[in-house]
């Protein structure tokens, strides 16, 4: 549904809201911004102190639940929504489903493919943060789940290397070291990190994507187990690439 001509009103671009906070959302915003048929507004939750901003118009902060989002869509004359949020951001995704149904506008869910185990991987697959905390028996843990959810490990007795962009909210595990870093991370970096800190086990969300996969390659190389937290199921149909999302927006039929 790129822009449309109508008698009287002239040319009207399609206004797309991209729910963001991911590299895919930024890539999509850049592609839409460069397309004269679309006007794009990206939305960020405002969790990261110094976020990498998408190209084009950006708004920051929650909408105020489903009702707030539905009102915002109407007030801003949004024609379509792309939910390109992180696979673990389940609340905003559910809100997007309800609000777009209420406004009778299309919703496209853009979600990168999950990580898949490869030969040599020693994954312990779990479906929640609590189950990941329970699954830990080894002493030195590399906790690489971002800043959200770290408190689920607060009661664990192990030592944790916690890597995140911004400091996680307390409570944190009693014994830990915080490593504030922004990805992407390459294999030599991850290999060195595991060796330097004497890591026994890696904990990861199954976020998918190429930018953070090197930690899994490094764990496989070192023969280390990975506690893999599987993602919550996505609501409704999804596309996995920016190109597919663009194609859907251009031809929703
Ligand atoms: P969530 O639990 O699904 O959402 C909680 C609330 O935060 C939502 O109800 C909404 O508030 C607000 N919100 C979330 N994403 C928003 C967005 N893009 N624009 C405006 N408001 C948003 O989300 P989360 O897991 O806290 O993640 C927050 C953001 O961080 C997401 O945008 C996501 O893409 C990004 N992120 C999350 C993770 C993760 O592991 N969860 C990892 C990397 C990046 P209202 O109800 O007030 O509208």
Residue 54 reports pLDDT greater than 90: yes
Name 85's Cβ contacts closer than 8 Å, sequence gap at least 6: 19, 20, 21, 22, 25, 92, 93
Name the burial class of residue 191, with classes exposed (0-12), middle (13-18) and buried (19+) by CB atoms within 10 angstroms of its CB: middle
Residue 233 reports pLDDT greater than 80: yes
User: The whole model's pTM is what?
Assistant: 0.92
Residue 13 reports pLDDT greater than 90: no
Residue 11 reports pLDDT greater than 60: no
CA distance 141 to 176: 9
Rounded mean pLDDT, 179-199:
97
> Does the C-beta of 66 come closer than 6 Å to ligand 1?
no
Rounded mean pLDDT, 119-135:
98
- b/e for 162-180, b at 16 or more Cβ within 10 A? bbbbeebeeebbeebeeee
Residue 1 reports pLDDT greater than 70: no
Rounded mean pLDDT, 36-41:
95
Centre of ligand 1 from the C-alpha of residue 21, in Å? 8
In a mutational test of the pocket of ligand 1, which residue from 61, 69, 82, 85 has the highest number of ligand atoms less than 8 Å from its CB?
85
> Does the C-beta of 146 come closer than 6 Å to ligand 1?
yes
Q: Which atom of ligand 1 is nearest to the CA of 205?
A: 40
């Amino acid at each position: 549904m790129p822009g449309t001509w109508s008698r009287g009103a002239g040319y009207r671009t399609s206004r797309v809201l991209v729910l963001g906070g991911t590299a895919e959302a930024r890539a999509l915003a850049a592609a839409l911004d460069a397309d004269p048929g679309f006007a794009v507004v990206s939305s960020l939750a405002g969790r990261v102190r110094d976020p990498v901003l998408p190209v084009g118009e950006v708004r920051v902060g929650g909408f105020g639940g489903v009702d707030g989002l539905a009102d915002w869509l109407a007030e801003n004359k949004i024609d379509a929504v792309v939910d390109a949020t992180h696979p673990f951001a389940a609340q905003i995704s559910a809100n997007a489903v309800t609000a777009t149904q209420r406004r009778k506008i299309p919703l496209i869910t853009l979600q990168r493919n999950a990580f898949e185990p490869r030969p040599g991987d020693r994954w312990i697959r779990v479906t929640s943060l609590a189950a990941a905390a329970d699954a830990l028996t080894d002493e030195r843990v590399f906790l690489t789940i971002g800043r959200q959810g770290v408190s689920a490990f607060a009661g664990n007795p192990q030592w944790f290397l916690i890597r995140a962009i911004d400091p996680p909210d307390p409570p944190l595990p009693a014994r830990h070291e915080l490593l504030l870093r922004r990805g992407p991370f390459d294999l030599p970096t991850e290999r060195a990190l595991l060796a330097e800190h004497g890591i026994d086990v890696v904990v990861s969300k199954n976020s998918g994507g190429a930018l953070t996969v090197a930690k899994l390659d490094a764990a496989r190389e070192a023969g280390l187990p990975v506690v893999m937290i599987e993602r919550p199921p996505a609501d409704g149909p999804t596309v996995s690439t920016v190109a597919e999302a663009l194609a859907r927006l251009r031809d929703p039929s």
